[in-house]
Structure formats: structure tokens, C-alpha cells
Amino acid sequence: MHIRETSISGLVEIFPRVFEDERGMFFESFNKQVFENLGLPTHFVQDNQSFSKKGVVRGLHFQNEPFAQGKLVRVISGVVLDVAVDIRPDSPTFGQYEIFELRGDKNNFAYIPEGFAHGFAAVEDAIFSYKCTNIYNKQAESGILWNDPDLNIDWGVTNPNVSEKDLVLPTLKSLFPDKVISA
């Protein structure tokens, strides 16, 4: 297993060692000792899975303290563009984001630390799976408008299918009016 560090501290893409033969393939999607050796979190308390049809955009979501969540995200089948936006107020990369192309046939995944808004666009029908470092709490949920003009994220889909809830999320600037967005 190896990681690709991004320009945003703590945000990494992970490539597992995949074993393939005529029967199929095998890989470890989580190994506590390997994650510790890579400096990644090893304590996850909740697993989630969703299915999204091609063209669906979900996010950008996050949990406020004390329920902030780190997420280990991957695609079981299909393809998504996974987006992580740095919303750590004291971070030099506040307002910057990274896009990962997560593919079921590539078996790559990403670790998104606490302090990031997260979302994804289904480029193909996709089964999306993620482990969380903290439990979900409805009162702590928040988010940023998926098409926030200050972020200008290219989601890679035309005519995105977005939930009613995600259509009315606030902009990053309205959540952090005193911050300069460096996207």
C-alpha cells in the first residue's frame, strides 16, 4: 500500500496492493498496522455505503465539532469524482480543494481529515463506501453549496442531479465571512 500526498496537508490518495490471478482479485481496504505506519487514523466508528446513478452530485457535507468526521472513502463499483474542500479556519490552504477520480476498477481510495467539506459526482453509476472517525449527528450536520461560485468546482457531469437539501446549502463565504478564499 502506498499513498500520494496532495498539496493540502493531511489529504491523501491511497493505493492498495492488489493481488490478481485467473480467479479474480484481492486487496486490503484497511489494515490498522499499515495505516499506523503511514501516519493515517486507525479508529473508525461508522461505515456507510451509498449507490448513486450517473450524474448525481452529493455534497459538499461536513459535521461541526464535536462531531467532525475524518473519512476513508472508496468506490466499490463505478467511477466518481471525489471532492474535498479545506475548511480549517487556520489552514494556509483554506478554501482550496482536491479532486480524486475514485474508480472501482482501480481500487484507489482517499483519506479526508476532519475539517474538510466532502462531496462527489457519479461519473458512472457507483457504489460508494466510506469509514468515519466519528458518529453522524443530525444537529451537527452542515455543508457548502455544491456550485459555490467562489470555489468554481468542475464536477465533471452535465445536468447534475442534486438533492433539494444540497441545493439550499450556504456558500463558503457566508459560513466564513472573515476568511479570504484562496481557491
Q: Which residues are catalytic?
A: 61, 130
Comparing CA positions, the residue from 5, 11, 1 lying closest to residue 91 is 11
- Alpha-carbon span 89 to 105, nearest angstrom: 36
- Check the CA dihedral 3-48-29-155 and report its sign: negative
- Alpha-carbon span 181 to 179, nearest angstrom: 6
Task: Give me the DSSP letters along 131-144.
Answer: EESS---GGGEEE-
The residues pairing with 126 across neighbouring beta strands, listed in sequence order, are: 52
The residues pairing with 132 across neighbouring beta strands, listed in sequence order, are: 46, 71
